Amino acid sequence: MGQELPSTSLLVFGATGDLSRRYLLPALSEICENSDIRARLKIVGLSRREVKAEDILPAKAANLVDQFEVFQMDYSRADQYRKLKQKIKNLDTEQVIFYFAVPPEAVLPIIDNLGKAGLDGDGVKLLLEKPFGSDLASAGRIIDEANRYFKEEQIYRIDHYLAKEMAQNIAVFLGSNAVFRHVWSSEFIDFIEIVIAEKIGIEGRGNFYEQTGALRDIIQSHGLQLAALTLMEPCPHDFDFNDLPARRLAALKQLTIPEKELGESVVRAQYDGYQKEAGAPASATETFAALKLTSSDPRWTQTPVYLATGKNLDQKLTQIRVNFKKDNNSEPNTLVLRVQPREGIELDLWVKQPGYERKLQKKTLSFSYEQDFEDRLPNAYEQILVDAMRGSQSLFASSGEVLESWRIIQPVLDYWKTQGASLKKYKPGSSVERILENT
């Protein structure tokens, strides 16, 4: 794993919840199996109710039984944090990481209690799950409140898509391959399409989704971060990954949704059956959203970016499709950066078919992580946890990035609130293309 990770106490607020059991604890299990951190990692599940450690650990994380314990506490009571402080002192590790696997409304009260208890020292880090606010104003308030006690470098805002292997590879791909580095601009690229499609519906999370919707849930975070990675100034070949947040932020600052085109360039839709599934008969919450972005960066002023996301679609797919311009009699080429599934890169090339006739045929030149590397790909949660222990912020969203992302979509939220927007319907299993054709 490279540099030795410091001894760490990882304390999980909401350890009995679904997120912890399904994702966090299995990821910790894999980290301990594939690194030498086990002896220096102590995991404490913080729970409101009395529960045994073995009742929390899923089968996939059974190997954590000797280093996992439960600490019962009421998150809302200040005196409980004084007991927690003593517990942490007894753990005696070099750093303490608090992981927030709790509902968004519980985050700030917990941070406030941590700060008042003096649990905000230099060796303390916060790992926060999205959403980071519900609009630009609320995001600003959350950041200001957290900064009352914690420095920016202590706060790790999780965006799982940034930690996916292919997303990380975009910077390397553009920085280390001169053939693409030199054509990465409007001069050669016609338009860019980013799709984040999910085959599943809301899976019983009706209350959560009614408060968010596709625009807030996916586009504000994952979608705009992928756009920033694609449009940012290409890194030099031997760059420091810690430079990425500043490069992503610079790209986000240039992005806008053309306000004059809000009624035409933004699509809002909902799959049939959502209202019943969410228990909200009159809901206008979108489960599909698509929009057009433009950049004021001189390199990209002539290249629109189309971003679409939705639930209950025909496939699970996250990809960035870069469409190169057609030049005179040549055919256009397409580059696909596939983030999930089957992580890899595909480039469409035109070749001559064998035979006497001069007929062209499109063929794909491809690279696949699954086929070209024997090593197991760590999942995003593993990468996030390791980088937080390591102290690397490159795969986490800075406060500036969060605010810029909200700034970009705020005009859409305002438009929907004041002007309204027709909510289209689509059948479960529809494709992105089909939904856009029917709007």
Do 213 and 68 belong together in one domain? no
Q: Is the dihedral of CA 92, 22, 133, 401 positive or negative?
A: positive
Query: Chain centroid to CA 419: how far?
Result: 30
Report the CATH number that the domain containing residue 19 is assigned in CATH.
Answer: 3.40.50.720
Residues 314-333: tens digit of each pLDDT: 999 999 999 999 876 677 88
Our answer to whether residue 222 is catalytic in this structure is yes
Q: Please count the structural domains in the chain.
A: 2
User: One of 160, 182, 222, 237 is an active-site residue; which one?
Assistant: 222
Do 293 and 195 belong together in one domain? yes
pTM of the model: 0.91
Do 120 and 219 belong together in one domain? no
Query: Tell me, what's the pLDDT at 3?
Result: 63
- 3-class SS at 358? coil
Do 80 and 194 belong together in one domain? no
Residue 60 lies in a domain: yes
Residue 2 lies in a domain: no
Domain boundary among 129, 153, 169: 129
Q: Are 275 and 184 in contact (CB under 8 A)?
A: no
Residue 176 lies in a domain: yes
> If you search the block for the tokens 């209350």, which residue do you land on?
207
Report the CATH number that the domain containing residue 419 is assigned in CATH.
Answer: 3.30.360.10
Do 61 and 171 belong together in one domain? no
Please say if the pLDDT value at position 376 is more than 70.
no
Residues 144-169: tens digit of each pLDDT: 999 999 999 999 999 888 888 888 88
- 3-class SS at 3? coil
CA-wise closest residue to 232 among 251, 212, 255: 251
Do 65 and 169 belong together in one domain? no
Rounded to the nearest integer, the mean pLDDT of the chain is 90
Q: Are 415 and 64 in contact (CB under 8 A)?
A: no
Do 317 and 236 belong together in one domain? yes
Query: Tell me, what's the pLDDT at 377?
Result: 66
> If you search the block for the tokens 């760490």, which residue do you land on?
8
Burial profile 16-42: b = 16 or more Cβ within 10 angstroms, e = fewer:
bbebbbebbbbbbbbbbeebebeebbb
**Residues β-bridged to residue 291:** 307
Query: Tell me, what's the pLDDT at 218?
Result: 94
Residue 191 lies in a domain: yes
Residues 71-106: tens digit of each pLDDT: 999 999 999 999 999 999 999 999 999 999 988 888
Residue 183 lies in a domain: yes
Residue 152 lies in a domain: no
Do 338 and 219 belong together in one domain? yes
Do 180 and 109 belong together in one domain? no
* DSSP per-residue string spanning 287-345: SEEEEEEEE-STTTTT--EEEEEESSBSS-EEEEEEEEPP-TTSPP-EEEEEEESS-EE
Residue 115 lies in a domain: yes
Q: Are 364 and 346 in contact (CB under 8 A)?
A: yes
Query: Tell me, what's the pLDDT at 421?
Result: 64
Domain boundary among 129, 147, 175: 129
Please say if the pLDDT value at position 362 is more than 90.
no
Query: Tell me, what's the pLDDT at 39?
Result: 82
Q: Are 271 and 309 in contact (CB under 8 A)?
A: no
Range of the domain at 82: 8-129
Query: Tell me, what's the pLDDT at 375?
Result: 66
Do 240 and 366 belong together in one domain? yes
